[in-house]
């Protein structure tokens, strides 16, 4: 069996539940997030996990721990990096998304959330996230896949979208239509430079107001 790259988004945090932009603010999973993280682990219980990566943010680390515990994979080596952290939402951190949608209008709100180079005061564009997350993926994660290992990466909606952009060779314009859902597991076969050969999606039903 060929090696796999497995991507998963952290589940519901305390601020996800409130519909707030969390960004680099550290917030724990809530009870629902812990429960569903366990369900996500069940989705890959049939797979061997050789190593795992997560961001430096606690919601990512807690999700990874839940997934591995449910899989009874207690000795998987893990690495954490700020390169996989969520997008820095700058001045929008802590603001309620749906209130901002009313203020900005639907079109601008979508550009803000999903666009490639939409600026945020004192924060990051998606391109800036790409410029830290993808080099880390290519240097630290992809070589392990190329060694024949199954690699699990648990990170955030935007850092994962940038890795997906690279893997699936999605255009700057096309990335606006790409979402990394809560509760989803993406399982990739990759070529030597990290581009997609095939993709499998596994999903546990999740309701998150984010």
Q: How far is CA 44 from CA 17, 54, 80, 115, in A?
A: 25, 16, 20, 31
Q: What pLDDT is stored for residue 206 in this prediction?
A: 80
| Active site (catalytic) residues | 10, 86
Are 24 and 88 in contact by the 8 Å Cβ rule? The answer is yes
Buried b (16+ CB within 10 A) or exposed e, 73-92: beebeeebbebbbbbbbeeb
pTM: 0.95
Q: What residues have CB less than 8 Å from 97, skipping those under 6 apart?
A: 19, 20, 21, 113, 210
Q: Going residue by residue through the chain, which has 210 residues, state the pLDDT in tens, using 9 for 90 and above.
A: 589 999 999 999 999 999 999 999 999 999 999 999 999 999 999 999 999 999 999 999 999 999 999 998 889 999 999 999 999 999 999 999 999 999 999 999 999 999 999 999 999 999 999 999 999 999 999 999 999 999 999 999 999 999 999 999 999 999 999 999 999 999 999 999 999 999 999 999 888 766
Q: What pLDDT is stored for residue 30 in this prediction?
A: 95
- Is 3.40.50.300 the CATH number for 5-151+171-203? no
Q: What pLDDT is stored for residue 207 in this prediction?
A: 83
Alpha helices in the chain (DSSP H): 14-17, 31-43, 58-70, 97-104, 106-114, 126-136, 142-146, 157-167
């Amino acid at each position: 069996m060929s090696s796999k790259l497995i991507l998963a988004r952290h589940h519901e945090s305390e601020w996800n539940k409130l519909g707030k932009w969390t960004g680099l603010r550290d917030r724990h999973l809530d009870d629902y997030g812990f429960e569903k993280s366990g369900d996500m682990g069940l989705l890959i219980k049939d797979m061997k996990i050789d190593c795992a990566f997560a961001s430096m943010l606690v919601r990512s680390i807690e999700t990874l721990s839940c997934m591995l515990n449910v899989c009874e994979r207690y000795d998987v080596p893990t690495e954490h990096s700020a390169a996989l952290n969520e997008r820095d939402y700058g001045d929008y951190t802590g603001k309620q998304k749906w209130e901002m949608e009313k203020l900005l209008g639907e079109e601008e709100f979508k550009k803000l959330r999903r666009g490639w180079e939409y600026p945020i005061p004192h924060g990051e564009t998606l391109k800036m996230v790409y410029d830290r997350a993808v080099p880390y993926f290519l240097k630290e994660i992809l070589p392990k896949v190329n060694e024949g290992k199954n690699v699990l990466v648990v990170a955030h909606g935007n850092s994962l979208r940038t890795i997906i952009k690279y893997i699936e060779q999605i255009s700057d314009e096309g990335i606006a239509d790409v979402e990394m859902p809560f509760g989803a597991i993406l399982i990739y076969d990759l070529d030597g430079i990290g581009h997609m050969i095939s993709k499998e999606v596994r999903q546990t039903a999740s309701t998150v107001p984010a």
